[in-house]
Amino acid sequence: MPISLSELALRTGATVAGDGTVVVSRVATLESAGPGSIAFLANPRYRPQLAGTRASAVIVAPEMAAHTALPKLVGREPYAIYAKAASILHPAAPAVPGIHPSAVVDPGARVAASAAVGPNAVVGAGAVVGERARIGAGCVIGAGVAIGDDVTLHANVTIYDGCTVGPRTMLHSGVVIGGDGFGMAEEGGRWIKIPQVGRVVIGADVEIGANTTIDRGAIDDTIVEDDVKLDNLIQIGHNCRIGAHTAIAACAGIAGSTRIGRNCKIGGAAMLNGHIELCDGVVVSPGTGIMRSIDRPGVYSGFWPGLPHGEWKRIVLEAQGLRELAARVRRLGHAIADEGGDDQGGGRP
Amino acid sequence: MPISLSELALRTGATVAGDGTVVVSRVATLESAGPGSIAFLANPRYRPQLAGTRASAVIVAPEMAAHTALPKLVGREPYAIYAKAASILHPAAPAVPGIHPSAVVDPGARVAASAAVGPNAVVGAGAVVGERARIGAGCVIGAGVAIGDDVTLHANVTIYDGCTVGPRTMLHSGVVIGGDGFGMAEEGGRWIKIPQVGRVVIGADVEIGANTTIDRGAIDDTIVEDDVKLDNLIQIGHNCRIGAHTAIAACAGIAGSTRIGRNCKIGGAAMLNGHIELCDGVVVSPGTGIMRSIDRPGVYSGFWPGLPHGEWKRIVLEAQGLRELAARVRRLGHAIADEGGDDQGGGRP
Amino acid sequence: MPISLSELALRTGATVAGDGTVVVSRVATLESAGPGSIAFLANPRYRPQLAGTRASAVIVAPEMAAHTALPKLVGREPYAIYAKAASILHPAAPAVPGIHPSAVVDPGARVAASAAVGPNAVVGAGAVVGERARIGAGCVIGAGVAIGDDVTLHANVTIYDGCTVGPRTMLHSGVVIGGDGFGMAEEGGRWIKIPQVGRVVIGADVEIGANTTIDRGAIDDTIVEDDVKLDNLIQIGHNCRIGAHTAIAACAGIAGSTRIGRNCKIGGAAMLNGHIELCDGVVVSPGTGIMRSIDRPGVYSGFWPGLPHGEWKRIVLEAQGLRELAARVRRLGHAIADEGGDDQGGGRP
């Protein structure tokens, strides 16, 4: 998909500096780029690589423009320009419309003529598959599922009965949408399963990473709003609501009935307790567990950085000895008071 | 599945208060209920919603019965009554017996005539599928696997050769049973794989959530006893034994050869070390790592709740400075001793 | 596969002590062994079981040889000898060459005549499947994928377009190789997807556990070197490089662009930050989060062992009160200084 720098500027909203007739056909890193590539500098730590790059053009912020003589796209958000340029240079292959002969599509399903259903995929009764949607090989789409226009399901995705997926959403392989929530009542030391009769409702422009699971609601629905981005191996419990534009990194777990606001960022391996609510704009650091609702935007953390084993062990032991240390300090205070000293700092004469 | 309140009382063991001829056909939350729904109040925090609900009937504990004039089911365990009522009102659709023509069933497999084998499922040589069992689309059942009566495998479950699944057990999509345990010996900086020749043996009435993995034993079997409930994305290592009625929440990991007792509850993202043993009745809090065996029932925790980033950072720095603080306290003690003071609280005159 | 002890010694590099004509046909634990079994003692804590075992032969270290009269294999690394013996006694069944009639193999794919492609597997255009490779039932192999000789893909593995898998590598069920990395740019509160145009390149003799996911590179490739061993439910982000002979236990997560050296051992549920580098020979304890690069081999930890709930809660509260404790110690220091005391331990006369 070769394209001139000027054309690329037009389509990404960037400004050209230098020779706009230069043609590029792929993105590359500053380090690995060769002729025909366009590279980008978004993180200042890679600036030293700018001088030596063999790219045909680069994407930079205005303050970096003077540091290279190469033809370039300039804009305040070079990473966003790169994202757009990469999409233009590396478009997804268009779906080849049609239902593969090995696919099993229920006669009661409605598949758009422009959609592609891959080998050995299964589409249940009453399911609807939208225009230009792609259902990858081995996917299983339950009865009554609604798949929007331009949706991409990579291979081996499973969607249980009755769930819905909004337009332009992409689900990666191994994703499971609509499994039963973890709901059961205890009676006399045994468990009674509670049927999970809600659905999962996924908005538009969502992306869900490989092997992530989203459980259907117990009664009402589990909801993933528009433009939510979920990484791999994430668990979303039943009746959660994930607000629009929120991104969650890999290995995170969200327990049931929790609501996350809009434009939140949840770090990898973070864990959110059930039945809590995070307001819009909350950032949760990686590896952090959130036990209570949060009603102010900001960054929340609860993560111990790993240390050489001996140092770490010392901290654990010291923390376990804190009661003794505090007692000793109290005794010192008493001793000083007996001597006429005073440990009430504020009251010292 | 419309049913009168009286009939529902009979089948759930609850008592009717008010008009028992009222007919309900589905469960709902207090908030979302409409006519024809039965809602429940199990958590006192939702009591304010009781007054305004539009449900046709409710399920409550005796002490709450006076707070609503609606027809109701009354019992000491309203959540268990709700569980039973929901199962009656929302029964799983019965399996439609038969083997889908696209399924590949080895001639040496024995599938009950009342069982349902879905599209593109694969059943290996010597496998046995019990009465009324459902094998979802895309499932792969290895050679010699035994699937009990009334088992439900949702779509795209994988069971390796030789494993067994007890009656009424339900496996959700993406579950992998019987993959090789993580067993290898190190020799000269290289790994030698150890064949994993044990099986996975799963009891009756077990439920296993989406994308959970249970490894086969190295030599002896990995065992999941009756009525165990596993949520999504859980890892059970080789040769573990999970005791009956134990429930484990999502994202937990149990390392190899660990034994968990009966009626334990393991929180989400909890991690258990290998080769340890938990007695019956242990509760592990979410996000907690258990490194040693536990021989007393009770609650065990090891989880730092997330805080605003600045507060958290301060705690981490203070903990890393504990050695210095302790040294300072020691010096203070010496200083006081030099002055005639005494930091041995108990021994002060 | 019955074999004499002498022959087994020859093939494992061990020494026979006692009757080398004894024939064994399977491995067993000391406890569960019966006639015809060979058991092993690698962990001294199981030594008491040596006396009572009913095994026909045992594998022991030289210093244990005197503790049993049974015929035995003796060597300095009994666990490695056991690994080799188990492989000999329990060889994987050979692939039955051929493409199952229900598999969908693109006419442009090249599958070796000695390879086995299972029921309902899908092999894309331009893919290459090597000699004696096994593609399990339900696997989906994308276009242009290269599968080396003697590779084993268990059922329901997914490999996206263009990725490569080296010889003798084994991928377990539910593994997803080559899903898009979690790459997007933020612009005005919305996300712009960044096409992920790199591949995943997996070396020789690698093993990857069930439901583990490895994302393709954003621009350059994600690389897993030879003899890497990954357990179940692990996430490897885009553009990571995992060095040869490194082993990673279940539920670990490696964020994007991180490089792990050779012969590292990463514990279960450990989490590595993105864009960092671990040198060769690093050991990360279970449940530990590593935020920064590590340039010295050794053990790194950051894990709080779970405690009875009351003890744990006390530690959390004490840690949250550390600022107050430190302030109190400062005030005590001032008080003593006012009295003529001195909290500068080193400077005391």
Pairing, β A190-193 against β A184-187? antiparallel
Which of these, B174, B142, B176, lies nearest to B161 by C-alpha position?
Answer: B142
CA distance A35 to chain C (A): 15
What integer pLDDT is reported at residue B340 of this predicted model?
Answer: 57
What integer pLDDT is reported at residue A334 of this predicted model?
Answer: 87
pTM: 0.95
| Minimum Cα–Cα distance from C190: chain A residue | A245
Helices (H), A13-89: 48-52, 78-89
**Residue A164 reports pLDDT greater than 70:** yes
d(CA C121, CA C136): 7
What's the domain range around A330?
A: 310-347
* pLDDT tens, position by position, B184-220: 999 999 999 999 999 999 999 999 999 999 999 999 9
Query: The CATH number of the domain where C81 resides is what?
Result: 3.40.1390.10
* pLDDT tens, position by position, C127-138: 999 999 999 999
Around Cβ A318, how many Cβ atoms within 10 Å? 18
Q: How sure is the predictor about B337, in pLDDT bands with cuts at 50, 70 and 90?
A: confident
d(CA C200, CA C208): 13
Q: Which of A89, A119, A141 is the last residue of a domain?
A: A89
* pLDDT tens, position by position, C148-182: 999 999 999 999 999 999 999 999 999 999 999 99
Option in C209, C287, C339 nearest B289 (CB): C287
Residue C284 identity: V
d(CA A145, CA A274): 27
In terms of domains, do A146 and A215 share one? yes
Q: How sure is the predictor about B343, in pLDDT bands with cuts at 50, 70 and 90?
A: very low
CB C237 within 8 A of CB C257: yes
What integer pLDDT is reported at residue A349 of this predicted model?
Answer: 33
Which of these, A171, B156, B163, A177, lies nearest to C156 by C-alpha position?
Answer: B156
Average pLDDT, chain A: 94
In terms of domains, do B263 and B322 share one? no
Task: Considering the candidates C67, C90, C154, C238, report the single residue annotated as catalytic.
Answer: C238
In terms of domains, do A84 and A108 share one? no
Q: How buried is residue B161: exposed, middle or buried, by Cβ count under 10 Å (0-12/13-18/19+)?
A: middle
Option in A102, A209, A229 nearest C104 (CB): A102
What integer pLDDT is reported at residue B94 of this predicted model?
Answer: 82
* pLDDT tens, position by position, C299-318: 999 999 999 999 999 999 99
Contact residues, chain A, for B138 at CB < 8 Å = 120, 122, 138, 140, 156, 158
d(CA A214, CA A254): 10
* pLDDT tens, position by position, C213-236: 999 999 999 999 999 999 999 999
Pairing, β B271-272 against β B289-290? parallel
Q: Do the chains contact at B174 and A158, CB–CB below 8 Å?
A: yes
Calculate helix-pair angle for C322-338, C309-320, nearest 10 degrees: 50
In terms of domains, do C283 and C225 share one? yes
CB B217 within 8 A of CB B238: yes
d(CA B280, CA B264): 6
CB C119 within 8 A of CB C139: no
Strands ordered across the beta sheet of A247-248: A98-99, A116-117, A134-135, A152-153, A170-171, A207-208, A229-230, A247-248, A265-266, A282-284, A298-301, B307-308
Q: Tokens 């900086």 map to which residue?
A: B189
In terms of domains, do C277 and C139 share one? yes
What integer pLDDT is reported at residue A346 of this predicted model?
Answer: 38
Contact residues, chain A, for C288 at CB < 8 Å = 306
Rounded percentage of chain C residues whose pLDDT exceeds 70: 97
Range from A93-107, A269-283, B276-290, B319-333 carrying the lowest mean pLDDT:
B319-333
Which of these, B237, B231, B228, B235, lies nearest to B202 by C-alpha position?
Answer: B228
In terms of domains, do B223 and B329 share one? no
CB C234 within 8 A of CB C255: no
| Minimum Cα–Cα distance from A316: chain B residue | B319
In terms of domains, do B71 and B102 share one? no
What integer pLDDT is reported at residue B347 of this predicted model?
Answer: 34
In terms of domains, do A170 and A235 share one? yes
Pairing, β B289-290 against β C298-301? unpaired
Evaluate whether residue A334 is within a structural domain.
yes
In terms of domains, do A296 and A158 share one? yes
Cβ contacts of A152 within 8 Å, gap of 6 or more? A92, A133, A134, A136, A169, A170, A171
What integer pLDDT is reported at residue B339 of this predicted model?
Answer: 66
In terms of domains, do B192 and B103 share one? yes
d(CA C209, CA B182): 8
Residue C303: which region, alpha, beta or left (left: phi > 0; alpha: psi -120 to 50)? beta
Token pair belonging to C31 = 């406890």
User: How many degrees, rounded to 5, is the angle at CA B247 between CA A275 and CA B232?
Assistant: 65
Q: Which one-letter DSSP state was computed for residue A193?
A: E
In terms of domains, do C293 and C328 share one? no
Contact residues, chain B, for C28 at CB < 8 Å = 219
Residues in chain A, overall count = 349
Q: Which of A89, A116, A144 is the last residue of a domain?
A: A89
Task: List beta partners, residue A285.
Answer: none
Cβ contacts of A10 within 8 Å, gap of 6 or more? none
* pLDDT tens, position by position, C194-213: 999 999 999 999 999 999 99
Q: How many domains does chain C have?
A: 3
Q: How far apart are the first and last CA of chain C?
A: 80
Q: Which of C72, C89, C106 is the last residue of a domain?
A: C89
Q: Tokens 């039973």 map to which residue?
A: B84
What integer pLDDT is reported at residue A336 of this predicted model?
Answer: 82
In terms of domains, do A37 and A119 share one? no
**Residue A216 reports pLDDT greater than 90:** yes
ipTM of the assembly? 0.94
* pLDDT tens, position by position, B152-187: 999 999 999 999 999 999 999 999 999 999 999 999
d(CA C322, CA A267): 27
Q: How sure is the predictor about A117, in pLDDT bands with cuts at 50, 70 and 90?
A: very high
Task: List beta partners, residue A23.
Answer: A4
